[in-house]
Amino acid sequence: MPFEDRERMAKFYRSAFGWQTEMLGEEMGSYVLATTVETGEKGPKRPGAINGGFYPKKPDGPSQHPSIVIAVDDIRNAIAKVTEAGGSVLGEPMEIPGVGSYVSLLDPEGNRVSMLQPIPRNWHAPKKKAKKKIAKKKAAKTKAGRKQKAGRKTAGKRA
């Protein structure tokens, strides 16, 4: 949602709803992240809950009202589907630094909705699958090493 005074806005949502806010710098578009519920690697842990954010109002920007943002896996694919289904995409996707690709659209009823292809949380951290693969490789090497040692001991006894 847009804001004019981010300190005032953050204080209001913290006080009224208990939301946590994180003020990002100018390099991140002065965006304010709002966390409304406990969040894990894939987003909110409670089904149906959402987190969001706030951005500075801009006099020359498009219509600036609260809007629904739908997370999508592939924004280009989602744009094609929206168009095929009768919606109108409002411009080209824009990159929100540290957040993802964002674009707004109008549904066939004229409702403004937005889509976001988020950057995966903790994208830089090793994934659980990768950790399991590393553990399996280590176990396999250890097992192979034991077999080699056992083979050497057996070969030594035969000689």
Q: What is the mean pLDDT of residues 47-70?
A: 77
Average of per-residue pLDDT across 43-53: 76
DSSP state letter for 41: T
Query: Could you identify the residue written with the tokens 């009823």?
Result: 109
pTM, two decimal places: 0.48
Beta strands in the chain (DSSP E): 2-3, 20-23, 32-35, 39-40, 43-44, 52-56, 68-71, 88-96, 100-106, 112-118
Element (H, E) at 27: none
Q: pLDDT-derived band of residue 2, with 50, 70 and 90 as boundaries?
A: confident
